Homo-oligomer: A and B are copies of this chain.
Amino acid sequence: MKKLKFGVIGFTGKLGKEVVNLFQEKGYKLVLKVNRKINEQLEKPDVIIECGLSNTVDQSIKLSEKLLVPIVVATTGLSPDQIKGLKHLSNYVPVILSSNYSFGIQVLLKLVEESSKKLKDWDVEISEVHHRFKKDKPSGTAKMIKDLVHRKDVQVNSSRLGNVQGEHTIKYGGLGEVLSISHSATSRKTFAEGILKSVNYILKKKKGLFSFKDVVENKK
């Protein structure tokens, strides 16, 4: 099998480093690396992984379109215009867009869907904790959870604390009982592994916009 060539936008960030490490462990070749200061392309990559800051996404969209290379987007805090840009891009290449590439979060989302249906008249509160360096607020994952609750007035509490990697909790409060579902990331490698799975999935696609949920469910 031919060795996979990959590019990472934001290769020196927290997540970028994990991706580079895991992919290199697998024997894949880093041929394109971009951060605020460096922009280095050795060869044409088979796939681009975008895990920079939200302001690097525009450039990544252009790059993916120019090279006609699939792209996995892990950056959060995107603007509506950027999301529109990715949709447009997906007419030409396959695009995966998700706020969270952890498998456990996918399970949590499934549970939230189920319990939100059953506990319609209970109060709901979502909270998330991340490291103090996280820029966007609330987290993209908290927004995904909120969307699944299907209500207007759901409160989302965001905390920035130390270097917590990521905690998401949803609490349902009835009269006399509280039910809560919680996910905590203890290692960033989890996300890198979800991105690896996504790369394997996207390489079989011709074009289209996919989510990490599609990857986990192996949607045709």
A182 with B180, Cβ < 8 A, contacts A111-B114, A171-B159 known: yes
> Bound complex: CA of A165 vs CA of B188, how far in Å?
13
How many copies of this protein are present in the complex? 4
B176→A163 contact, CB < 8 A: yes
> Bound complex: CA of A114 vs CA of B107, how far in Å?
9
Smallest CB gap from A184: residue in B: B178
- With both chains docked as a complex, state the minimum distance between the C-beta of A135 and any C-beta of chain B, in angstroms: 16
A182: chain B residues at CB < 8 Å are 179-182
A residues touching B (Cβ–Cβ < 8 Å)?
102-105, 107-108, 110-111, 114-115, 118-119, 122-123, 125, 127, 129, 132, 155, 157, 159-165, 171-190, 193
B178→A162 contact, CB < 8 A: yes
- With both chains docked as a complex, state the minimum distance between the C-beta of A156 and any C-beta of chain B, in angstroms: 10
- With both chains docked as a complex, state the minimum distance between the C-beta of A166 and any C-beta of chain B, in angstroms: 9
- With both chains docked as a complex, state the minimum distance between the C-beta of A138 and any C-beta of chain B, in angstroms: 12
A175 with B190, Cβ < 8 A, contacts A111-B115, A115-B107, A123-B132 known: yes
A173: chain B residues at CB < 8 Å are 132, 161-164
B161→A102 contact, CB < 8 A: no
